[in-house]
Amino acid sequence: MQASRARLFKEFKEVQRERSADPDIQLVCDDSNIFKWTALIKGPSETPYEGGVFQLAFAVPEQYPLQPPQVRFLTKIFHPNVHFKTGEICLDILKNAWSPAWTLQSVCRAIIALMAHPEPDSPLNCDSGNLLRSGDVRGYQSMARMYTRLAAMPKKG
C-alpha cells in the first residue's frame, strides 16, 4: 500500500477511536476517497467566532505526509489570514513550516489557534488586516462576529 494511503488510514482509525477526545473538531473522511476530508471546527471562545461552526475542506496530496494537505474554509469567515472569497488559509505550517509529524487533526488545532490569534501583518483579507493594523479592534470584531452569525451559525427559524 502506498505510504500516504497507509498513513491516512491510520489517521482515520485514530479519528474513529478518539471521536470524543477533542469536542471542538470533527473530522470526516469522504466515503469514496481517502484523500478528501472535511472538518467541522468550533470557533474558539472569547473570539468573534465563538458560537460558530466552520467547515474546512482538506485535499491531501499523494506525497502526504511529506507534503502538507491543502486546506480551505468552506464556511465564509472574516479573518485577516483567510481569503474572503476562496477560503484559502495563510498559515506557515501549511506551507514552508510543514512537518510530516503534523496530522489532519493537529492541523485543525493549528487553524483554531490561528482563528484566536490572527496575524494581520500577512493578510489574505486586506480589509480585515487593515482594521486590526490600524488598531480598530472593535471594527474587526464586529465584522467578524457578523459574518460568524450570517454564515457559521444555524439559521434561526
Partner 1 sequence: MEDKTMNLTTSVSSDSEEPNCCPICLGPMLQESYLDKCFHKFCFNCISRWTKVVTGKHHSPLSSVKCPLCKTENFSIIFGFDGSCFQRQYVNEDFEDSFILSRAHRYRLQCYYTEQGILDDIFNVSRYWKSHKHYQPNSWLQSWLKREIQALIQEEDVDIIVHHIVGVINASLTRREQNYLIKTPEKKQEEEFNMAVSEAARPFLGARTERLVYEVQLFLASGLNIEAYDAVYIQRLGWSSPGVNTQASHSEVLDRTTVIPYLYIFDEDSDANE
Contact residues for partner 1, defined by CB under 8 A: 3, 6-7, 10-11, 14, 17-18, 21, 63, 65-67, 81, 90-93, 95, 97, 99-103, 105-106, 109-110, 113-114, 117, 119, 121-122
Q: Choose between 30 and 92: whose C-beta lies nearer to partner 1.
A: 92
Q: Choose between 47 and 103: whose C-beta lies nearer to partner 1.
A: 103
In one-letter notation, the amino acid at residue 24 is: D
Q: In angstroms, how far is the first alpha carbon of the chain from the final one?
A: 48
Report the nearest approach of partner 1 to the CB of residue 52 (Å): 20
Question: What's the CA gap between 1 and 124, in Å, rounded?
Answer: 38
Q: Around Cβ 98, how many Cβ atoms within 10 Å?
A: 17
Q: Choose between 98 and 142: whose C-beta lies nearer to partner 1.
A: 98
Radius of gyration of the chain (CA): 16
- From the candidates 29, 90, 108, 126, give the one annotated as an active-site residue: 90
Report the nearest approach of partner 1 to the CB of residue 113 (Å): 6
Rounded to the nearest 5°, which phi and psi values hold at 55? -100, 135
Cell of 47: 473570539
Active site residue 29: no
Residues recognised as catalytic? 90
